[in-house]
Amino acid sequence: MTPPSRDSPAQVGEVPLWNLANMLTMSRLAMVPLFLLALLVDDGTDPFWRMVAALLFLIASMTDRLDGDLARRRGQVTDFGKVADPIADKALTGSALVGLSALGELPWWVTLLIAGRELGVTALRFWVLRHGVIPASHGGKIKTFAQGIAIVLYVLPFGATADPVLWSAMGIAVALTVITGVDYLVRALRLRATARRILVTS
């Protein structure tokens, strides 16, 4: 019998589905309903539970950075993680925006604009998938950070005196959301056009 090569599955093995990175991703998803429950206690008027909600959001947001770093560093990147990670991110951000709008603290158009952008980018990813993958941009990472900061500020029980700060933070987040969305659309169109030119000339 020929001994297995160094690269054979018998020696290398598959990446386990329930590795630490994926468990962090699932913990972030599990924190979404807990965050919403804390945010909506007494119609959002209880300062203690608002603090709890803000803390849950911060912890969940930190797992977003940790799970990706762990997966890459340990060589534990899985197809499940590639799908579950963005779903968990969008569920966390989306639930926070919807919760704040339901409480009447954030205009619905802001929530719909950000949600529309995220859905649009997801649709674009599938649209150009057979032509290639559009890597995450530096602007997209800044956008995510700005959204997180704005949401935490809105969730914390600051009161009406902090409204100018809240509006400014969310305004920056909305602007970055639109700018990076347009940038992603342009890059998707370029990728598709380049792929078509290569197909025609080949």
Q: What is the pLDDT of residue 66?
A: 77
Residue 35 tokens, joined: 């965050």
Q: What is the pLDDT of residue 69?
A: 67
Q: What is the pLDDT of residue 11?
A: 37
- Is residue 5 assigned to a domain? no
- Is residue 7 assigned to a domain? no
- Is residue 8 assigned to a domain? no
Q: What is the pLDDT of residue 15?
A: 66
- Is residue 51 assigned to a domain? yes
- Is residue 184 assigned to a domain? yes
- Is residue 4 assigned to a domain? no
- Is residue 3 assigned to a domain? no
User: How many helical (H) and strand (E) elements, i.e. helices and strands, does the chain have?
Assistant: 7, 0
Query: Both ends of the chain: CA-CA distance in Å?
Result: 44
Q: What is the pLDDT of residue 202?
A: 65
**Total count of domains within the chain:** 1
- Is residue 129 assigned to a domain? yes
pLDDT tens profile 38-61: 999 999 999 999 999 999 999 998
Range of the domain at 174: 16-201
DSSP 2: P
The tens place of each residue's pLDDT in the chain, 202 residues long, gives: 444 444 433 334 576 667 777 788 888 899 999 999 999 999 999 999 999 999 999 999 888 777 766 767 767 677 777 777 778 888 999 999 999 999 999 999 999 999 999 898 888 888 887 777 777 678 888 999 999 999 999 999 998 778 999 999 999 999 999 999 999 999 888 888 877 777 777 6
Burial of 80 (0-12, 13-18, 19+ CB in 10 A): middle
- Identify the CATH number of the domain in which residue 51 sits: 1.20.120.1760
Q: What is the pLDDT of residue 60?
A: 92
> How far, in Å, CA of 138 to CA of 197, rounded?
27
Longest dimension (CA), the chain: 77
Phi and psi at residue 8, to the nearest 5°:
-75, 155
Q: What is the pLDDT of residue 17?
A: 64
